[in-house]
Amino acid sequence: MGLSTDDIQEVHARVVEVLRTVFDPEIPVNIYELGLVYNVDIADTGAVEVKMTLTSPNCPVAGSLPQEVEQKIKTAEGVTDAKVHLVWEPPWTPEMMTEEAKLELNMM
């Protein structure tokens, strides 16, 4: 028997909490508020798939940040596995940031 809808929502909330602890090394805002996380999918088995991007394909952490995100997600309660897929479509733009991130960076 897999996770219930409520359990999946709880795991999703925990994964988002974890994502908010990962920061882009060049911008002092977490990757979730920056809008770098495009999708978080939780299977009823507890496996998590994340589609995310970086601010630029030339980002110096392109090789390490997805692995860091994967490892941190695996620590969230209820997660049985995690896969992070780095995508470039749609390209990231500052408009993807949350209001909170824009305030943090004095962009409002």
pTM above 0.75, yes or no: yes
Q: Is the pLDDT of residue 108 over 80?
A: no
- E runs forming strands in 54-108: 81-86
Residues 6+ apart with CB under 8 A from 102: 94, 108
Is position 82 within any domain?
A: yes
pLDDT of 96 over the 80 cut = yes
Residue type, 13: A
- Give me the chain's average pLDDT, please: 93
Is there a contact between 87 and 52 (Cβ–Cβ < 8 Å)?
yes
Residues 66-74: contacts with CB within 8 Å, 24+ apart?
Answer: 68/22, 69/19, 69/22, 69/31, 72/18, 72/19, 72/21, 72/22, 73/15, 73/18, 73/19, 73/48
Does some domain include residue 77? Answer: yes
Q: Can you give the residue range of the structural domain that contains 70?
A: 5-103
Domain count across the chain: 1
Q: What is the average per-residue pLDDT within 50-69?
A: 90
pLDDT band for position 56 (cuts 50, 70, 90)? confident
> Is residue 79 included in any domain, yes or no?
yes
Domain assignment present for 27: yes
Contact indicator for 33, 20 with CB cutoff of 8 Å: yes
- Residue 108 in any domain: the answer is no
What is the CATH classification number for the domain harbouring 28?
3.30.300.130
12-54 pLDDT tens trace: 999 999 999 999 888 889 999 999 999 999 999 999 999 999 9
Question: What is the predicted pLDDT for the residue at 107?
Answer: 86
